[in-house]
């Protein structure tokens, strides 16, 4: 395995000793055993990290974009070359299989660094010029915001940190990053890697701790913007705290997304999509398509194909390349997901097609300590109705709900009947219909005949209660800059009403 680094407070370009004696533990979700102990950052520590970021801002923000880009590209190349180490850390911390973290988590973070480095180096931060009259015009410029706070969720720790850092740093801001206390292992490793790539001290800083640490950052007068990824309930608190200081915000929040299988869809393809939308990362993906709408006449064929493919879900030793299903991230989250499965069986009374309560069968020969991990059985409910709690609320675990429908008009109305609007998608061979349905679905991230891919080129962000603003893509940079408009008048005289009596 790897030597597990102890995450620390990090500012002025190096690890710092916290002024606190309070600690918390990082736990291996696959065994429930502790990995390392982390010291919480105090308000004094956080003030010091913000002060470091403020000192670094004037120089970093005025560094030419191609020079900033060179450093970010160097960091991306270091990340790629250290994929085995970084992916192992993510696997230990999150419980996701190494087959996932090595293929996706590190690479998609490095992709974002490369994307935004190239974007800002090739005019991504340029403004516009608008002629007004022969002797006057308006030009605009984009300016970085200042010291920004980045608050991350536990499901894609390194990727979330890098998506925020890539756009934020490329635009010329400096950052103070707080990882989730559930998954902190990557945090100061990433800060050290940035320093090695040539990022000046103070440009990327890390503080450690739970909700209180995040709340302190969100309300701090030295913070110009809060970029938050997490639950809707937390997002509301963070946005309110940031709003009190009129800070910029980006909110990447939860979802309860609809995956719509249209009547002419290829059943096998739709089932593959539904499985990716529910069981990848053991269902701990914000864009999960957990409400699977299937035409009534296709229900039997869909469920038969799904049951056939459920046996391709392979829990086990997370470092085994064949393993594609891990435990849930923590004991607390395990209790929450199991509670929803129990509710689905006992209160909602949905039909349990697969999985349910009870121990997940791990393959013979796995290490004994894996049996104490936070595993849950991949679960499918069918005959679900829109009013069931398992259909209405985000579970954030491997729990699929199958709902049937009769008409396209009906399925669009029901898919939109939620306060959330993160993702949605359709499976069909009829591309005209696909576009018509997609145009009516109230969600910020949509797919046709696929599910889950979210490349750096694609701007992503939720509608309704699922978020504010976007990350990634060309629009992603706009969330990290403010506009300055300048009117230039060359007429030689100021247009004034005060020149005559």
Q: How far apart are CA 34 and CA 107, in angstroms?
A: 27
Candidate ranges 3-11, 223-231, 265-273, 338-346; the one touching ligand NDP (CB under 6 A): 223-231
Choice between 344 and 461, CB closer to ligand NDP: 461
CB of 167 to ligand NDP, least distance (A): 13
Phi, psi of 285 (to 5 degrees): -125, 130
Q: Which uninterrupted H or E stretch holds 351?
A: strand 351-354
Question: How far is Cα 204 from Cα 189, in angstroms, rounded to an integer?
Answer: 12
Q: Please select the residue that binds ligand NDP; options are 402, 422, 456, 470, rule is CB under 6 A.
A: 422
Whether 252 sits among the annotated catalytic residues: the reply is yes
Q: How far is the CB of 153 from ligand NDP (least distance, A)?
A: 3
Among 76, 286, 400, 415, binds ligand NDP (CB under 6 A): 286
Place of tokens 């046709």: 448
Annotate 183-211 with three-state secondary structure: CCCHHHHHHHHHHHHCCCCCCEEECCCCH
The whole-angstrom separation of Cα 188 and Cα 10 is: 6
Nearer Cβ to ligand NDP (60/480) = 480
Nearer to ligand NDP, 262 or 285 (CB): 285
> CB of 462: closest distance to ligand NDP in angstroms?
6
Q: Which is nearer to ligand NDP, 329 or 411 (CB)?
A: 329
User: Does the protein bind ligand NDP through residue 473 (CB under 6 A)?
Assistant: no
Verify binding: residue 155, ligand NDP, rule CB under 6 A.
yes
Work out how close the CB of 433 gets to ligand NDP at its nearest, in angstroms, rounded to a whole number: 28
The residue number with the shortest CB distance to ligand NDP is: 214
Question: DSSP assignment, residue 225?
Answer: E
Decide if 134 contacts 492 (C-beta within 8 A). Answer: no
CB of 68 to ligand NDP, least distance (A): 25
Residue 394 found at the interface with ligand NDP (CB under 6 A):
yes
Q: Which is nearer to ligand NDP, 228 or 302 (CB)?
A: 228
Does 96 interact with ligand NDP (rule: CB under 6 A)? no
256 near ligand NDP, rule: CB under 6 A = no
| 152 lies in the binding site for ligand NDP (CB under 6 A) | yes
Q: How far is the CB of 253 from ligand NDP (least distance, A)?
A: 5
Other beta carbons less than 10 A from residue 200's beta carbon? 16
Beta bridge partners of 463: 421
DSSP three-state, residue 486: strand
**Nearer to ligand NDP (CB atom), residue 214 or residue 316:** 214
The reply to whether 218 sits near ligand NDP by the rule CB under 6 A is yes
> Smallest gap, in angstroms, from Cβ of residue 423 to ligand NDP?
9
CB proximity list for 458: less than 8 A, separation 6 or greater? 445, 472, 473
Query: Which pairing describes strands 129-133 and 463-464: parallel, antiparallel, or unpaired?
Result: unpaired
Q: Which of 252, 272, 303, 348 binds ligand NDP (CB under 6 A)?
A: 252
Stretch that binds ligand NDP, among 174-182, 299-307, 351-359, 405-413 (CB under 6 A): 174-182
Contact status: 215 vs ligand NDP (CB under 6 A): yes
Of 25, 24, 33, which Cα lies nearest the Cα of 1? 33
Phi, psi for 159 (deg, rounded to 5): -60, -45
Q: How far is CA 40 from CA 23, 277, 453, in A?
A: 5, 35, 35
Among 95, 124, 144, 214, the residue binding ligand NDP under the rule CB under 6 A is 214
| Residue from the set 16, 99, 234, 257 that interacts with ligand NDP by CB under 6 A | 234
Q: What is the 3-state secondary structure (H, E, C) of 285-339?
A: CCCCCCEEEEEHHHHHHHHHHHHHHHCCCCECCCCCCCCCECCCCCHHHHHHHHH
Between CA 453 and CA 474 the distance in angstroms is 17
Q: How is residue 489 written in tokens?
A: 């008048």
Q: Which residues pair with 142 in a beta bridge?
A: 483
Residue 35's closest CA among 12, 11, 1?
Answer: 1
Specify the DSSP class assigned to residue 471: B
Look at strands 399-405 and 33-39 and give their pairing: unpaired
- Binder of ligand NDP out of 253, 259, 298, 443 (CB under 6 A): 253
Q: How is residue 307 written in tokens? A: 């049951």
Count of residues touching ligand NDP (by CB under 6 A): 30
Q: Binding segment for ligand NDP among 26-34, 147-155, 167-175, 317-325 (CB under 6 A)?
A: 147-155
From residue 104 to residue 143, the character string flagging contacts with ligand NDP as x (rule: CB under 6 A) and all else as - is ----------------------------------------
Sole window of 55-63, 118-126, 226-234, 434-442 interacting with ligand NDP (rule: CB under 6 A): 226-234
Q: According to CB under 6 A, which one of 6, 63, 231, 449 is a site residue for ligand NDP?
A: 231
Which residue, 287 or 428, has its beta carbon nearer to ligand NDP? 287
Given the residues 90, 100, 114, 252, the one annotated as active site: 252
* Axis crossing angle, helix 106-121 with helix 83-94, rounded to the nearest 10: 120
Q: Reduced to 3 states, what is the DSSP secondary structure of residue 476? A: helix
Instruction: Please state the closest distance from residue 19 (CB atom) to ligand NDP, in A.
Output: 19
Q: In 7-91, which ranges are E strands?
A: 9-11, 14-16, 23-28, 33-39
Instruction: Write out the catalytic residue numbers.
Output: 252
Binding residues for ligand NDP, rule: CB under 6 A, are 151-155, 178, 180-182, 210-211, 214-215, 218, 229-231, 234, 237-238, 252-255, 286, 394, 396, 422, 462, 467
């Amino acid at each position: 395995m790897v030597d597990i680094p102890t995450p620390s407070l990090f500012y002025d370009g190096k690890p710092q000793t916290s002024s606190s004696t309070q600690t918390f533990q990082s736990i291996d979700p696959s065994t429930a055993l502790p990995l390392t102990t982390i010291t919480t950052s105090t308000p004094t520590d956080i003030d010091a990290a913000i002060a470091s970021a403020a000192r670094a801002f004037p120089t970093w923000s005025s560094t030419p974009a191609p020079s900033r880009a060179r450093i970010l590209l160097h960091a991306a190349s270091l990340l790629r070359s250290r994929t085995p180490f970084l992916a192992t850390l993510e696997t230990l911390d999150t419980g996701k299989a190494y087959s996932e973290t090595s293929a996706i988590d590190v690479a998609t973070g490095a992709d974002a660094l490369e994307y935004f480095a190239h974007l800002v180096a090739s005019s991504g931060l340029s403004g516009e010029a608008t002629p007004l009259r022969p002797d006057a015009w308006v030009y605009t410029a984009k300016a970085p915001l200042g010291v920004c706070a980045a608050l991350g969720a536990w499901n894609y720790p390194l990727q979330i940190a890098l998506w925020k850092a890539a756009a934020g740093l490329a635009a010329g801001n400096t950052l103070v990053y707080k990882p989730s206390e559930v998954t902190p292992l990557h945090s100061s490793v990433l800060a050290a890697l940035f320093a090695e790539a040539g990022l000046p001290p103070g440009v990327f800083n890390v503080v450690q701790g739970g909700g209180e640490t995040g709340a302190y950052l969100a309300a701090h007068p030295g913070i110009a913007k809060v970029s938050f990824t997490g639950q809707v309930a937390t997002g509301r608190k963070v946005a309110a705290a940031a709003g009190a200081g009129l800070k910029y915000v980006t909110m990447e929040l939860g979802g309860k997304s609809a995956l719509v299988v249209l009547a002419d869809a290829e059943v096998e393809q739709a089932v593959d999509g539904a499985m990716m939308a529910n069981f990848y990362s053991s269902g701990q993906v914000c864009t999960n398509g957990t409400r699977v709408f299937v035409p009534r006449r296709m229900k039997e064929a869909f469920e038969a194909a799904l049951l056939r493919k459920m046996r391709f879900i392979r829990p086990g030793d997370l470092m085994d390349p064949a393993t594609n299903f891990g435990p849930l991230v923590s004991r607390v989250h395990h209790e929450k997901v199991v509670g929803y499965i129990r509710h689905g069986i006992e209160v909602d009374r949905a039909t349990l097609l697969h999985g349910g309560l009870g121990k997940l069968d791990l393959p013979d020969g796995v290490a004994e300590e894996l049996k104490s991990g936070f595993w849950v059985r991949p679960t499918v409910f069918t005959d679900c109705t829109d009013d069931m709690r398992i259909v209405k609320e985000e579970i954030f675990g491997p729990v699929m709900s199958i709902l049937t429908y009769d008409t396209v008009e009906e399925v669009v109305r029901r898919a939109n009947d939620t306060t959330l609007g993160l993702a949605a998608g359709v499976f069909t061979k009829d591309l005209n219909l696909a576009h018509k349905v997609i145009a009516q679905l109230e969600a910020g991230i949509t797919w046709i005949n696929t599910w889950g891919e979210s490349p750096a080129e694609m701007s992503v962000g939720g509608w309704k209660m699922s978020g504010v603003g976007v990350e990634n893509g060309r629009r992603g940079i706009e969330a990290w800059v403010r506009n300055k408009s300048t009117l230039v008048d060359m007429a030689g005289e100021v247009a004034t009403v005060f020149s005559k009596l």
